[in-house]
Amino acid sequence: MFGKSKKNNSKVRAKAGAADTLITRDTKITGNIQFKGVLYIDGHVVGDIAADESEMSLLTIGKHGVVEGQVDVPHVVILGRVKGDVYASEHVELESSAHVEGDVYYKLIEMSMGAEVNGKLVHREQKLLNHDKPRDKAASTTKAKPSERSATSSEASDASEAVKTPSSVS
């Protein structure tokens, strides 16, 4: 009647409130979860959660939700607890009741007053690839360019001998 237009909704961002998959408050899942679309967790998940990067998937961890593992989803909304690193290639929203024990890697972040992060907040402009993610704390350190390297111990001792302190100056 008013002219119907046909839209291709294959890559439209999922909106909060319309969950494809729901993990309720009395549910505990042990194991990794791979999903597409919208996942809402109000229960307990022990394992990693990942979404297909080609999809604009959304993970919402509800107020009673607990995730013990790494989260790797383009769009993440956290109201509950996460014990592990969070990788949001697009957007992460930390509500006032959010508690994250781990590092948060994000492109865009919204953080309400009262949200807690016990870890680093790391801004990433480009999407994170699996091989770009630090596997452990030792692997996350980067090598300095030759011009940025600190002096070796022999260079440092030579440099300290060349520096005159106020007490040694006559």
**Helix, strand, coil % over all residues of the chain, rounded to 5:** 10, 35, 55
* pTM over cut 0.85: no
Q: What is the pLDDT of residue 141?
A: 39
> pLDDT band at 161, cuts 50/70/90?
very low
31 close to 47: Cβ distance less than 8 angstroms: yes
> Mind giving me the DSSP string for 135-170?
SSTTTTPPPPPTTTPPPPHHHHHHHHHHSPPTTT--
Q: Pick the residue with more confidence: 15 or 122?
A: 122
> pLDDT band at 139, cuts 50/70/90?
very low
> Domain spans of the chain?
29-126
Distances from the Cα of 17 to the Cα of 14, 27, 72, 79, 105, angstroms:
9, 19, 20, 14, 24
How far apart (Å, rounded) are the C-alpha atoms in residues 95 and 114? Answer: 8
Q: What is the pLDDT of residue 15?
A: 52
Q: What is the pLDDT of residues 31-49, one digit of tens each?
A: 999 999 999 999 999 999 9
- Among the ranges given (25-29, 129-133, 140-144), the one the predictor scored with the smallest mean pLDDT: 140-144
Three-state DSSP class for residue 49: strand
In terms of Cβ atoms closer than 10 Å to its own Cβ (0-12, 13-18, 19+), residue 69 is buried
Q: What is the pLDDT of residues 70-79, one digit of tens each?
A: 999 999 999 9
Percent residues over pLDDT 90 in the chain:
57
Q: What is the pLDDT of residues 141-154, one digit of tens each?
A: 334 444 443 444 44
Q: Which two tokens stand for residue 46?
A: 């022990």
Residue 166 has pLDDT above 90, yes or no: no
Residue 24 has pLDDT above 90, yes or no: yes
Phi, psi angles (nearest 5°) of residue 80: -105, -140
SS3 letters for 57-76?
Answer: CEEEECCCCEEECCEECCEE
